[in-house]
Structure 1
Amino acid sequence: MTKAEEAEQPVDFEQALAELEALVERMESGELSLEDSLKSFERGIALTRQCQKALSEAEQKVEILTGKNGEDGVEPFTADNRD
């Protein structure tokens, strides 16, 4: 599998976030070459997009499940909002 194929391969949210955190740590260490840093940055952008998409899809599901699809905003969660 090439790096480009690996970057496009979907992973679940938790895996993507963990990989993104590891990439940031490696990049912040300053031990990567410029080329490796750029590759890591590219991968990080792809992972960030995957995480944003997963969060957006989860938000849509929550809105559908709570029946608030047509309302203006999402009600913030508090412990007192239990039904």
Structure 2
Amino acid sequence: MAKKESYEEMLTKLQDILNNLETDELNLEDSMKSYEDGVKLVNKIYKILDTYEAKISIIKDEKEVEFSESNGDK
């Protein structure tokens, strides 16, 4: 079973892809493959960020409710 890549590993991999594309040393076929790999990585990264954003929103909303309830008791 393959190890799931971390957010940081994916960012590093994406940066490597970008660096390779910027060197102009790849042929067209390799450039297209790198571009496709980069798009897949970006989609995975956005999915991770969306998940964390949702978690943060839930935590923030819960804390606001707790704060409002504790302020109302005074």
Ranges in structure 2 where 5+ consecutive residues have no aligned partner: 63-74
Pairwise CA RMSD:
1.8
- Identity among equivalent positions (%) equals 33
Larger radius of gyration: 2
Q: Write the distance in 1 (CA, Å) between the matches of 2:14 and 2:5.
A: 12
How far the C-alpha of 1:66 sits from its partner, in A, is: 1.0
- Could you tell me which amino acid in structure 1 is paired with residue 25 of structure 2? E
Runs of 4+ in 1 over 6 A off after TM superposition: none
Q: Write the distance in 2 (CA, Å) between the matches of 1:10 and 1:41.
A: 21
The DSSP-based 3-state class of the residue aligned with 1:31 is coil
Match among 16, 21, 45 for residue 22 of structure 1 = 16
CA contact (8 A) 1:10 1:50 kept: no
Ranges in structure 1 where 5+ consecutive residues have no aligned partner: 1-8, 69-83
Structure that is richer in helix per residue: 2
Identify if the C-alpha distance between structure 1 residues 37 and 10 changes in structure 2 by more than 3 Å, giving closer, same or farther.
farther
Q: Write the distance in 1 (CA, Å) between the matches of 2:4 and 2:35.
A: 17
Match among 51, 59, 64 for residue 65 of structure 1 = 59
How far the C-alpha of 1:10 sits from its partner, in A, is: 4.8
Match of 2:25 in 1: 31
Give the TM-score, by structure 1 length: 0.67
